[in-house]
Chains A and B, each alone.
Chain A
Amino acid sequence: MTAAVEFQSVSRHFGPVKAVDSVDLTIAEGAFFAMLGPSGSGKTTCLRLISGFETPTGGAIRIFGEDVSATPPHLRNVNTVFQDYALFPHMNVRDNVAYGLMVKGMGRAARLARAEEMLALVKLDGYGDRKPAQLSGGQRQRVALARALVNEPRVLLLDEPLGALDLKLREAMQDELKALQHRLGITFIFVTHDQHEALSMADSLAVFNEGRIAQIGTPAEIYDRPATRFVADFVGSSNVLPPDLTRALGGPAQWASLRPENTRLAASGPVTGTVTALRYLGSGTRVVLDLGGTEVAALLPAGQPLPEPGAALSIAFDPAALHVMGDAA
């Protein structure tokens, strides 16, 4: 099976700034793929390289096996849901949705009928005559989604699709996007800076840092076995242990990560430190210890007795929970 999107040492440099630097990436057909990273990490530039609004300064991009280096955006069978939706303000919702079909030459009656079907799919039946300015943020996003999907693209790109929505709407939309992708079988690629969103929606993801990919894998792999200190820290705020501390705790002399939820407090142990902070989280309490200059957090389930700040304690954990990482930052 050919990959939906393939990057072969792709770079996009803006003068001295390496927005994307020699990235290799393969996204399988039918995947729900996330690009996760802080702002400025290159994830959005990667999305724009796929849609064609940026051109690589090095390397090659293939979409379903075809090199797209000479293909302008309008001839790529790829559509985008823009972050600010970018709906056409002078057209009503129906004409917005039918736009892609119109410019490809479909007749008026046929394309408007298709637009209505698409609006029904995103649960906006009856909104066809409204102008974008008359819609709420969530409704606008559905229009943007319908407008992209009506073209039946082979790849759908979503730029921070849930960023502008409030929490409740965001959770509902996560489920809906997932269901829609499952039903249509189109490859979805979305960009986000929110690790919860990426972990819960994607079936595989790439974590970006400073123009490069730090790790690619399934959400479970990335969460449980972060490849670098950056991934461990950015995805789920793991404890990052320097080599000497890892060895003192019984591991090899290498960088390692340890999830707070796998960490317990112990009265004594190989390394003792002092409790510096307690944070009540509802489902539990996060206790932070200073272990010889390294901050290590342990998540105590609700109901356990809490230590006093300043108390001298150590930590304990199941050796299998200690994940040893390479040397990479």
Chain B
Amino acid sequence: MTDTILELSDVGYRWSGRAAFSLTVPDLSVQRGESVLLLGESGSGKSTLLSLICGTILQDRGTVRIAGTEVSKLSGGARDRFRAEQIGVIFQQFNLLPFGSVTDNILLPLRFAPQRRKRAGDGAAEAATLCAALGLPKDIIQAKATTLSVGQQQRVAVARALIGQPPLIIADEPTSALDADSQTAFLDLLFAQTAKHQTALLMVSHDPRLGDRFDRVIRMEDIAVIERAAA
């Protein structure tokens, strides 16, 4: 098994349509257990990069490897399954299904990832353990997602990303909706959990102040080239 959990080499993607642009990533890799902060302004192609990594869009050239598997070689369904198995995703906000309970939301990825489900064992108990570790009140587990505060919702999103121990967590500005104190607390909890299971973390942010907590900080403009069609 390779030590590189994520590897992009010579990846090119061209977005056709009204706002035509192309993204080129010559080389990007993340090791197992490594935490990487990817800095970039909005419009720097971060979302496209994350979609490429998750396999919801496919590159035009080059390779994206996750845990040694070339994602574009998989069929559509297998790619979705692979994503569920390998990657925990945390969005900027609105992470949770509003009509589901906290447990429903945390257990959702297990529905699509049999190996993670096996690793998680008793899903409900595991969800409760994660919630406790993330400092969520005990009775919250049956609450509707919409009744939670934003900070609580983000922590539930972390629990959902972590359950069944996927090797890679992708977080897209998870702290941007939180105030400074909550940001610190949130990152403490996130790092404590990723360290425990040797989970790699690729976090995207526009805030360079977070940098000193990560193993490595990279800038979008250093790893990627963006070309826009003249309007």
A and B: bona fide binding partners: no
B residues apposed to A, CB below 8 Å:
none
A residues apposed to B, CB below 8 Å:
none
